[in-house]
Amino acid sequence: MNIIELDEVTSTNSYMADHAGSLPADTVVVAHSQTAGRGQRGNSWEAEPGKNLTFSLLLRPTSVTAVEQFLISRAVSVGIAQTLQQFTRGSEEVCIKWPNDIYVGAQKIAGILIENSLMGNMITRSIVGIGLNVNQLQFRSDAPNPVSVIHLRGQETPLRPLLEQVVESILGWVARLDNSEGREAVTRAYDSMLWRREGLHPYITADGEPFQAELIEIAPDGIMTLRDTDGKDRRFAFKEVHFVI
Ligand code: BTN
């Protein structure tokens, strides 16, 4: 495994973007500390230096088109969730909150920020940034519901073996995107791990409209269909709806 370890960096995703030209596929950049860790929706990512995994993985997919890019999100999410499931010895249910947050119960344990580059209609480069809470006990930011591996296992976890296990698992799932059976397996695994995949749950639209709905499906392009209590199917892209937790 080609792992570059940095003491401090602004953001491992930004570092990877700056150096990707000279790095082979599957390179990992991991940082002890990020001074400007980036999250989804333009948020920052909080991680106490030395306590967590903050890293980026460089993928160079050869068979994923632009319209299929959500497959990468699916494979990465499943790889992380499955590793954590093994790490907690199945004592807790690890889930994927659409589109790609990793949850334990109603709490977020890992976040993913994927930045893709296109050539024509093909994804040629994908920088997969992952923040995984491992040994951090307290969180200062307004992140609504964080949890760490230490809360689940009751003891500290060495970071390097966990990093290697997560990366290996992700690469295994990403490799399956090369054929249609593999893609179906990735999609099935993702769907089966979805948080709140059954029953009615509260949501709020980006415009502030609250409603109750059940999850119907996540389409290949990542659009989520929810069926509200009037029986109406409503389709949402990321950012258009929020789970009420
Ligand atoms: C989220 O908001 O849920 C996504 C968080 C992604 C954080 C990781 S930490 C390593 C990598 N570098 C960054 O700047 N962000 C990602």
Spatial separation of the C-alpha atoms in residues 54 and 163, rounded to whole Å: 9
CATH numeric code, 3-192: 3.30.930.10
Residue intervals of the chain classified under CATH 2.30.30.100 are: 200-243
Query: What's the CA-to-centroid distance between 37 and ligand 1, angstroms?
Result: 6
Q: What is the pLDDT of residue 140?
A: 85
Q: What is the pLDDT of residue 245?
A: 87
Q: What is the pLDDT of residue 41?
A: 86
- Dump pLDDT digits (tens) for 150-189: 999 899 999 999 999 999 999 999 999 999 999 999 999 9
Q: Which residues pair with 236 in a beta bridge?
A: 224
Query: What's the CA-to-centroid distance between 199 and ligand 1, angstroms?
Result: 30
CATH numeric code, 200-243: 2.30.30.100
Average pLDDT per run of 10 along the chain, which is 245 residues long? 97 98 98 96 92 98 96 98 87 91 95 97 98 95 85 94 98 98 98 97 97 98 98 96 94
Tokens standing for residue 234: 């409503």
Q: Which of 113, 141, 145, 242 to mutate to test the pocket of ligand 1 (most atoms within 8 A of CB)?
A: 113
**Residue 225 phi, psi dihedral angles, 5° rounding:** -100, 125
Q: What is the pLDDT of residue 28?
A: 98
Q: What is the pLDDT of residue 91?
A: 67
pTM: 0.96
Q: Which residues pair with 227 in a beta bridge?
A: 214, 233
Q: Which residues pair with 114 in a beta bridge?
A: 128
Q: What is the pLDDT of residue 88?
A: 80
Q: What is the pLDDT of residue 123?
A: 98
Give start and end residues of each alpha helix (H) in 42-96.
70-87
Spatial separation of the C-alpha atoms in residues 90 and 9, rounded to whole Å: 34
Spatial separation of the C-alpha atoms in residues 121 and 210, rounded to whole Å: 37
Residue intervals of the chain classified under CATH 3.30.930.10 are: 3-192
Q: What is the pLDDT of residue 179?
A: 97
Q: What is the pLDDT of residue 141?
A: 73
> Rg for the chain (alpha carbons), in Å?
18
Pocket of ligand 1 (CB under 6 A): 11-13, 34, 37-40, 43, 45, 54-56, 101, 111-113, 129-131
Q: Which of 12, 45, 46, 109 to mutate to test the pocket of ligand 1 (most atoms within 8 A of CB)?
A: 45
